[in-house]
Amino acid sequence: MQYQLPVFENLCPGWQKILYLGIRRAFVKGTRILDMDTPLNGVYLVKDGVVEVILNTLHGPEKVLYYVGPGCIFGEVSCFTGDDGGEAHVSARSDCVCYFFSREQIEGLISNQHPYLLIELIRAEAHKIRMYGVLLQDSLNSDHFMRVCKMIIYLVRFKGGPIGPDQQQVSFRPEMTQNDMARLMGVHRVTVTKAISRLKRLGVLSHFSKNALEIIDYPALCRLLQAEN
């Protein structure tokens, strides 16, 4: 299974070395950093904190497309396409510090003197494109319960560290609430809550909050996905 939680970090490490070329900007939690109605003539590198790219919807639950954390860039679509469409916006998920690099800098000084940074930018884009493909396939082929199971397994791999082949119990701080997961999936919170309750009844997990995710039977969780395939 190659499911990927849409969280992007440390994909552009080389950009940390040229912060002196960027403009430092600090944003408090909840600030709308980028509105796609106004094209951005540059990109942001996240130094500290996390931002979220949110799909603008007329009806239904808010859909978070993905998170961008330290060491990764956002705003590149607006920068290089010049789009003024209002399909998405970027907000600070936590207090964060970002550095702004203009398109003129990227196409001039950076591309001439630091061409390897463009490779990092392309690599980050490839990860995001792949994420869209995986999530599209998943939304077409899996029900909500299985999607929640997949999200939890990726959380384990993303935040929980190495898991032994016979490890039964897994406990860690996910830094994600059930509501956060619902927003990433584009469903109502009650959908995730029902899936978590079902996993509890199955004896798979005992607790899921932002500060603690406690899985009782990790192999059983993995077998649920194997059964689907």
- Residue 4: is its pLDDT beyond 60? no
Cα–Cα distance for residue pair 207/215, rounded to 1 Å: 7
Phi and psi, residue 54, nearest 5°: -120, 130
What pLDDT score does 2 carry? 44
CB 90 within 8 A of CB 75: yes
Number of domains in the chain: 2
Within this chain, do residues 24 and 81 fall inside the same structural domain, yes or no?
yes
SS (H, E, C) 28-43: CCCCEEEECCCCCCEE
Domain boundary at 101, 116, 138, which? 138
Within this chain, do residues 24 and 130 fall inside the same structural domain, yes or no?
yes
Within this chain, do residues 172 and 93 fall inside the same structural domain, yes or no?
no
Cα–Cα distance for residue pair 65/135, rounded to 1 Å: 10
CB 158 within 8 A of CB 184: no
Q: Among 21-30, 84-93, 147-156, which range has the highest average pLDDT? A: 21-30
What pLDDT score does 103 carry? 93
* 1, part of any domain: no
Beta bridge partners of 8: 68
Burial class of 108 by CB neighbour count within 10 A (0 to 12, 13 to 18, 19+): exposed
* 84, part of any domain: yes
Q: What letter represents residue 89's amino acid?
A: H
Tell me which residue range forms the domain holding 171. Answer: 143-228
What pLDDT score does 77 carry? 83
What pLDDT score does 86 carry? 58
Within this chain, do residues 209 and 130 fall inside the same structural domain, yes or no?
no
Within this chain, do residues 71 and 132 fall inside the same structural domain, yes or no?
yes
CATH code, domain with 11: 2.60.120.10
Cα–Cα distance for residue pair 213/226, rounded to 1 Å: 22
* 64, part of any domain: yes
Within this chain, do residues 168 and 134 fall inside the same structural domain, yes or no?
no
Within this chain, do residues 100 and 169 fall inside the same structural domain, yes or no?
no
Cα–Cα distance for residue pair 47/94, rounded to 1 Å: 12
State both tokens at 54. Answer: 């949110």
Domain boundary at 102, 119, 138, which? 138
* CA 139 to mean position of chain CA atoms: 16
Within this chain, do residues 149 and 131 fall inside the same structural domain, yes or no?
no
What does each C-alpha distance from 85 to 37, 42, 79, 125, 171 come to in angstroms?
A: 6, 16, 13, 20, 42
Domain boundary at 72, 106, 138, which? 138
What pLDDT score does 220 carry? 93
Within this chain, do residues 75 and 183 fall inside the same structural domain, yes or no?
no
CATH code, domain with 194: 1.10.10.10
- Residue 141: is its pLDDT beyond 90? no
* 97, part of any domain: yes
* 2, part of any domain: no
Cα–Cα distance for residue pair 110/82, rounded to 1 Å: 20
In 3-state terms, what secondary structure has residue 32? Answer: strand
Within this chain, do residues 23 and 96 fall inside the same structural domain, yes or no?
yes
Within this chain, do residues 118 and 33 fall inside the same structural domain, yes or no?
yes
Q: Quick one: average pLDDT of 73-82? A: 85
Closest CA to 73 of 158, 5, 10, 4: 10
The model carries a pTM of: 0.71
* 106, part of any domain: yes
- β-bridge pairing 96-102 and 88-92: unpaired
Cα–Cα distance for residue pair 223/95, rounded to 1 Å: 38
* Residue 15 DSSP label: G
pLDDT band at 144 (very low <50, low <70, confident <90, very high): confident
Helices (H), the chain: 76-81, 103-105, 111-113, 116-141, 144-159, 178-185, 189-201, 218-228
Within this chain, do residues 147 and 132 fall inside the same structural domain, yes or no?
no
For the segment 173-229, what is each residue's pLDDT rounded down to a tens digit? 888 899 888 888 878 899 999 999 999 999 999 999 989 999 999 999 988 877 665
